[in-house]
Structure formats: structure tokens, C-alpha cells
Amino acid sequence: MKITGARVIVTCPDRNFVTLKIETDQGLTGIGDATLNGRELAVASYLTDHVIPCLIGRDAHRIEDIWQYLYRGAYWRRGPVTMSAIAAVDTALWDIKAKAAGLPLYQLLGGRSRDGVMIYGHANGGDIAETVDEVQRYIEMGYKAIRAQSGVPGLASTYGVSKDKMFYEPADGALPTENIWSTEKYLDHAPKLFDALRSRFGFEHHLLHDVHHRLTPIEAGRLGKSLEPYRLFWMEDPTPAENQEAFRLIRQHTVTPIAVGEVFNTIWDAKDLIQNQLIDYIRATVVHAGGISHLRRIADLAALYQVRTGCHGATDLSPVCMGAALHFDISVPNFGVQEYMRHTEATDAVFPHAYSFDAGYMLPGDVPGHGVEIDEALAAKYPYQPSYLPVNRLEDGTLWNW
């Protein structure tokens, strides 16, 4: 089966998504997500100018060979732009192979290892009371796992809390917004949020929290320790992961489980953290970590060390990534949880999909392929708009971590 064409579709139903569509001489097509929030057009160009010309004429069934060709053949390895582009090709080819087999993708990945994929939703509030109400809403919707974030008193911007609760960034702003951050105020506030949540709802639901890489290792150790009474499912990105030795320090101080890796793009980023058992959940997902093929390698390495998967699933990943991730999640033995932030209606309309929500779990659906399509005519109605994640500064103006 020959690849006869491929093209990149950039659309902004409410935020930007980059999709690669691959066509074959047998009439089968497949799509892959190539969205890299805030750097969308770089991946679009990487694909259009450098990858697509190398794909035409290749056998669409040779997924592994094409992956190696794009990874090794480029000479310049790794990095989010490169790996998102490779991921899009890989995802589209798995989609095509599954369609050719007439099977849902998870069947090609070994079949179901579980009945459904446990997901966590985002409960965000400007203050603790608002977050408690949001958690209540998620519990009523049937969620088993909920990420809770609340605004910090004394800080004008609300940490981890998004505009319209679905975005971290302005949908219409050409430049990033700048938020103010205070570690002291946050460290004082975060345990109060989880104290309020456990007093109100008890221990029946999994609670998660994202620190967005904002603490130093010793501060992260302190936070993890102060959250122990509330038995979190995980504390995410407590400190930036460039210096991975830092996680040893956190581990020495707390048994709160740690999740890291939404910004990782290869197994090499995750290898030391996994092998040294410095994390409990690996957050890499399909689009930023080289596709289904590479994510499986990361998960297999993680399994050796009892590290489980917790795929990134914010709304800056398109439904194409979500669909593919759900096939991965339902088949991978060492699954932990899947993030599901819910796309807007406009996004769901551009990307019709077979996956569905059922009482706190997601099901990938049983249509051949990964089950997500793109309505190109509708996509064309929403041109690209510059949009960026916010920048954070300390109260004295020092640039701080995301």
C-alpha cells in the first residue's frame, strides 16, 4: 500500500490544532495529531517542507521503518518539534493499518487489558469554595479521579486556573499573558484546598494536583509531605525535570506519588527518572513523544520499574491525540490514568470521534482505525490564531517557571 499524498491541516475552532492526513493508493486515509501549543506553525512547516516529500511512494504498512527513517535519517534527533512531527506520521500510519485490517487500533496493540480507561477531569476555581463546587460537579458527572487547582489568595492571577476553565492561555491574545507567582503563598494555601476537599468528600475519589514545575526540589519535598494526610493520587511536575537528580531529594522527604513527563519527547527524557524509580507515573503521550510506536517503548521500560502511564490530555492536544491515546491506554498493561480535559463543542464538531465517556471511564470505540476523523470543510472555517501559554514572574518581576 503506497503513500500517495499527505497534507497538513491547521485549524483553530477555539484553539489551534495541527493535523497530518496521509493518503494511500488503496483509498485508505489516516490522520495524526501534530499540535505543539504555542509553536504550531513550526511543526506544520517541519512536516510540509521536510517530512512529506520523504513519505510519498513509501509503503504505508512499514510503520517501524518509516519511524526509524524519520528519527535517524534526519541526523538531528529528538526535540518537541521533530518528535511531534514523527508522532503525527506514526499515528496516521497506525490509523491506516487498523483501517486496512478492519479493526479498532487497540486490537493491533494486543487487545484490551481492561474494560475502560479511567480518566481524570479538571476542577478549577478562583478560591477553595469554587474548587470544592467544581469537584462536586465532577463527582456528579461520575468521575472517579479529579485534578483540583485553586487560585491563591493575594495573587491576582489564579494559578492553574484557566480562562473559561478550558484554557490556560488567552484564545485571542497575540502575546502570552504574564502572571504573578509566589511560592510562599502557594505552599501555605495548597494543603488547605485538599483539607477542604477531603473533609467534604471523604477518600472515595482520587484527587490529583498539578504544580506546573514551579517549586525547587526542597519546596516540592515540603509540599508532598504536607499533602500526605490527603493521600493524593499524584503530585504532578513538582519541579522542572531537566535536572533529574532533583527528584531524589523530593523522594527523600515524601511518599506522595509523583507524575512527570508531559513535556518529554523521547524515552531518553524519561529513562533516568524511571530507572531510578524517582517517579510513579509517566505523563508522555502520543503527540509529543513520537507516536504510538515510541510511547509503547516508554511504557515497556516503565513497566519494568512499576511506573504506570498517565497520559497528558489537556485541550491543547487534539481529539486525534485523545483517540489514539485511548487505544494505547486500554491495551497497555501498566496503565495508571488518562487526563481528559474535554474539548469544546466547536472542536468536537471539527473532529468527529468514536470515543465516549461512561461513568468516569472512556471507551475508544470499535470503528476501524483510531476512530477520529477531521471535517476539513469545517476546519477551513477556523484559521490559525497566534496563542501562547502564559509566562510567570515572581512578585519582584523575576521570570519564573511555567
Ligand X SMILES: O=C(O)[C@@H](O)[C@H](O)[C@H](O)CO
CA distance 323 to 321: 5
Name which of residues 261 to 300 contact Mg ion (CB under 5 A): 262
208 binds ligand X (CB under 6 A): no
- Please tell me whether residue 373 binds Mg ion under the rule CB under 5 A: no
- Residues 51-80, one symbol each (x = binds ligand X by CB under 6 A, - = not), give ------------------------------
Nearest partner of 53 among 29, 89, 78, judged by Cα: 89
Nearer CB in complex with Mg ion: 132/241: 241
Q: Which helix (H) or strand (E) holds 234?
A: strand 234-236
Catalytic residue among 71, 106, 143, 159: 159
Q: Check binding of 210 to Mg ion (CB under 5 A).
A: yes
Choose among 163, 124, 123: nearest CA to 139: 123
**Binding ligand X by CB under 6 A: which of 227, 314, 324, 354?**
314
Which cell numbers in the block locate residue 355? 470515543
By CB under 6 A, is residue 40 in contact with ligand X? no
Cα distance between residue 292 and residue 270, in whole Å: 16
The number of beta carbons lying within 10 Å of the beta carbon of residue 377 is: 8
The single-letter DSSP state of residue 130 is: H
Task: Name the CA radius of gyration of the chain, rounded.
Answer: 20
Our CB check for ligand X shows the closer of 104 and 336 to be 336
Cell numbers at residue 104, please?
479498532
Specify the 3-state DSSP secondary structure of 177.
Answer: coil
| Cβ distance to ligand X smaller for residue 205 or 312 | 312
Of 98 and 259, the one with the shorter C-beta distance to ligand X is: 259
According to DSSP, residue 211 is labeled -
Asked if residue 258 binds ligand X (CB under 6 A), the reply is: no
Measured CA to CA, the distance from residue 105 to residue 119 in angstroms comes to 19
CA 203 from centroid of its chain's CA atoms: 26
Q: Work out which of 316, 318, 324, 340 binds ligand X, going by CB under 6 A.
A: 316
d(CA 261, CA 280) in angstroms, rounded, equals 11
Beta-ladder partners of 20? 8, 32
| Among Mg ion, ligand X, none, residue 37 binds (CB under 5-8 Å by kind) | ligand X
The answer to whether residue 233 forms part of the interface with ligand X (CB under 6 A) is no
* Per-residue contact flags (x/-) with ligand X for residues 115 to 154, judged by CB under 6 A: ----------------------------------------
Whether 212 is catalytic is: yes
CB of 390 to ligand X, least distance (A): 9
Of 152-171, binders to ligand X (CB under 6 A) are 168
Rounded Cα gap, residues 174 and 229, in angstroms? 42
Closest contact distance (angstroms) between CB of 314 and ligand X is 3
Could you say whether residue 35 binds ligand X (CB under 6 A)? no
Whether 327 is catalytic is no
* Active site residues per annotation: 159, 212
> Which residues contact ligand X by CB under 6 A?
37, 168, 210, 212, 262, 312, 314, 316, 339
